[in-house]
Amino acid sequence: MNSNIVIVDAPDASDGDPTHRPEGAQYKLCNPPNIYLEKLGTGWMKHRGKAKPGMRYFLKKLPTGYEVYEKTRANGAQVGRTDRWLYGYPGHKWFDSPNRFLPHFIHLLDNDGSNIGCNCTVCLGSAGKSRMGRASTGSTAGEKQTTTAPTAKPRNRPPGKSGPRKIISKPAPTGPTDEEGTPDVYRILIDRLKKAGSMDVPITEQFSMDWRAEHEQSTNQLDEISRQPGWVPRVGEIVLFVRTLKEGQSIGYHAPTRTYRIRSSEDGKQGSLPAWEAGVVTLTSMDELEIDDLLQETENHHEYQVNYSGFRVEPLPDPNSADKSLSKRHKYVPVSQMRPFVFWQQILQNLKQGTWHTSIVNAMKTMSSFSLRDKFHFSGTWPTAAISCRGIYIGSELIIAGDVVRLRKVGEETISDIMRISSIKLRLQRLDEASDNDNDDRHPYNLSVHITGKTFTTDISKAYDEEEIDPADHGLEAFAEYSTEWYLRHPQNKKLEVPFFRIMGRCYETDAMEKWLPPDATNLSVGLDGIIDGRAYSEKHDKRILEGKTWFWGEHRADSLGVETLNGQEVSKFDPDRDPKKWRRQIRVLEGIADEKERQALKKQTMNHRPLRGYEQGNSMVDAAMHLEEAAGNFESEAASAAEDTEGRSSRKRSRSVAENSRGRDEADDEEEDEDDEDVEAAVDDFIFELAEDVARPKGNVMVELDEDDADGEQEQHKLALPSKRRRH
């Protein structure tokens, strides 16, 4: 090797999608892609300030998921020339040069593989942030609107053109789809795994409007939850709550009767029993909570309305019934009027079941349900694979990576083990024995959900060795008071993997338990009987659980709870405005693969049915779109003024189709009208892109290392009632 050549081993921080590859025998894999490797290696060293004169820097390899393909021109003025493109971008667009990819590459390395906020030309083109705007405020009728050119050219519009966007047709995605016609990304990944042998890629669902709209918001929400104490109620969790308390009242434990009663803060006297209900948390507090808020709202929150400082809770309807009206009786309550549902036996003890609110029984029916949340990574070696998830709803609680949870083996009457979760995975096994068609009557493949993490025990007989550990050394200070002795369950460099049903809820911090359950504040097993009994009741009474199964697997949280609305809005299939076909047309426009017929159909449908609320009055783009006319089967439009005509001004210009049927128009007027039509068509094209991009753009994927499973990882099989085959959430 030449002495002036340096191989650069950059971190493999990638958003690459190996499913994005060109089709056709004319495309050949370029290996090694030296021009890319040198440009990227040199650019990375310069970015770090470590490049030296006279040295040549080559990247060791392209980011995972990216590959360069080349094609030799067979005709034209430059016959014989070889063109190269870089494939693997998660939005299924290609880079046509290493110089265009370099800003994206550097952004990935600086942001641990996330493309959020990337300003490369491809990311900006996908987002549409730099398209030419036509907004104006208050210009008078008939005046031309002026624009300021952005730094990046509008996507798919030729340089120097202000007219209609040139449509570049690209192949649409093909392959398995779900029941709504959306590409089934999981089946596609399995098929790719079968061909490739092994894969390790982030999951993106570019052609799922649900995913595009929810992905970024959900990721941010889970990031926020991970920074909160475990005692803060989470969206989607079932809680016991008291609808109304008077000023100065709180809920406290009454030791003589072993009940929870309404207490007066003035004299401390215990009063009547609270009227408990069970509901799902749909909005969380906008305020920062303190541990003392668990018993009574602190002074810091009195200046805010309860719909700001409190939680929105919706009573749970019967999952077996078509009547979901109970969901409409929502209430905003402070956290002091809520308790985790897993402690229902302690909270409701000495209350006859006949006096319970019906929502409590409804909640019990869902305790043997679960649903996965935020599937973000796919990995495997044929014929097995794993899908990593950021969270899982088990019964009443949301469990996420980073949580400390309680573990129980089947048959154990007490809890002595806790785990800090590092990963949640849906495992796919024996793929080679399954049908290639998920829509047939056979089970497509073996599925199991497992949780992995560092595990600790208070039982020395379960310990890996007899050496005690300091909980503080493992980030367990908040749980130390559960026991005077703590041990590791496995070697320091190992982790334990268990089936999800061994999770017995979050392990709550002992200072929170002191507020909720004073007699059992340091009892690690408190609530265990309630969880076991609740799951048994659910297995028997939830009619959605199929015969021979013990769990109901919901497609998403609303599905597992059996609700049709959240926050007053219909969800999923119950949404009357759900239109997957229209959404796919919008996404095809957004991704640049729609043909002209599809674009015109979307324009027509949008103009006929969508109200143009939320846009600035006087926006020429909106005005033009609102005055579209169809003439001779073509969309020809006139530019509407940005403000109402004032008295004495000329009326709005007519469209070209009208002008051509009018007499007395001179040639100058016709030329001016042609220019207007061109401007308006461009404005409408921009408007259609705004409509198509009126959803959250996916902005990257969280990457995690695969865990080392403990040698004695317990691979217990469990009986699941599978969700519908549209497994997209």
Confidence of residue 610 (pLDDT cuts 50, 70, 90): very low
Strands (E), 430-482: 446-457
pLDDT at residue 685 in the model: 52
Q: Are strands 496-499 and 503-506 parallel, antiparallel or unpaired?
A: unpaired
Mean pLDDT value across residues 266-279: 87
Scanning 591-631, the segments in alpha helix (DSSP H) are: 596-609, 620-626
Lookup: tokens for 353: 């079941």
Q: Given pLDDT bands bounded at 50, 70 and 90, which one contains residue 309?
A: confident
Q: Which H or E run contains 400?
A: strand 397-400
Least confident stretch, 101-115, 130-144, 212-226, 434-448: 130-144
The predicted model gives 635-647 an average pLDDT of: 34
Cα–Cα distances in angstroms (integers) from residue 434 to residues 190, 334, 375, in the given order: 11, 50, 22
pLDDT of residue 631: 32
Q: What is the pLDDT of residues 5-56, one digit of tens each?
A: 999 998 888 988 888 999 888 899 999 999 999 999 999 999 888 889 889 9
The residue among 551 and 686 whose pLDDT is bigger is: 551
Query: Would the pTM count as exceeding 0.75?
Result: no
* Number of residues in the chain: 729
Write the DSSP string, 647-658. TTSPPPPPPHHH
Q: How confident is the model at residue 582 (pLDDT cuts 50, 70, 90)?
A: confident
pLDDT in tens, 187-242: 889 999 999 999 999 998 887 878 888 888 888 899 999 999 999 999 999 999 99
pLDDT at 137 over 50: no
Q: Output 285 or 168, whichever has higher pLDDT.
A: 285
Burial (CB < 10 A; 0-12, 13-18, 19+), residue 725, is middle
Paired with 313 in beta bridges are 281, 331
Q: Cβ of 441: how many Cβ atoms within 10 Å? A: 6
Q: Is residue 681 pLDDT above 60, yes or no?
A: no
Is residue 424 very low, low, confident or very high in pLDDT (cuts 50, 70, 90)? very high
Range from 304-313, 550-559, 623-632 that averages highest in pLDDT = 550-559
pLDDT computed for residue 132 by the predictor = 28
639: which 2 tokens?
């530019």
Provide φ and ψ at 27, rounded to 5°: -95, 130
- How does residue 715 score in pLDDT terms, banded at 50, 70 and 90? very low
Delimit the domains of the chain by residue range: 5-121, 128-162+579-642+664-697, 196-227+365-507+544-576+709-721, 238-362
Q: DSSP characters for 30-59?
A: -SS-HHHHHHHHHHHHHHTT---TT-EEEE
Q: How sure is the predictor about 173, in pLDDT bands with cuts at 50, 70 and 90?
A: low
Mean pLDDT, rounded, for 418-438: 88
pLDDT at 580: 76
Average per-residue pLDDT for the chain: 77
Label each residue of 568-588 as H, E or C: CEECHHHCCCCCHHHHHHHHH
- Per-residue model confidence (pLDDT) at position 304: 60
Q: Does residue 84 register a pLDDT over 80?
A: yes
Check whether 557 has a pLDDT greater than 90. yes
Q: Residue 607: what pLDDT? A: 62
Dump pLDDT digits (tens) for 345-377: 999 998 889 999 999 999 999 999 999 999 999
Which has the minimum average pLDDT: 115-124, 504-513, 562-571? Answer: 115-124
Among 340-344, 478-482, 598-602, name the one with the lowest average pLDDT.
Answer: 598-602
301 close to 548: Cβ distance less than 8 angstroms: no
Query: Token pair of 85, please?
Result: 């493109």
Per the model's pLDDT, the better-predicted residue between 126 and 389 turns out to be 389
Helix (H, G, I), strand (E, B) or coil at 686: helix
Average pLDDT estimate for 574-583: 79
Decide: 374 and 391 in contact? Cβ < 8 Å. yes
pLDDT of residue 481: 95
CA dist., res. 455 & res. 397, Å (int): 20
- For residue 28, how many C-alpha atoms fall within 13 Å in the half-sphere facing its CB? 9
Across 399-425, average pLDDT: 95
Q: What is the CA radius of gyration of the chain?
A: 30
Q: Does domain 196-227+365-507+544-576+709-721 have CATH number 3.30.379?
A: no
Instruction: Point out which residues pair with 391 in neighbouring strands.
Output: 373, 400
Alpha-carbon distances of 549 from 431, 444, 539, 544, 545, rounded to whole Å? 22, 17, 8, 10, 6
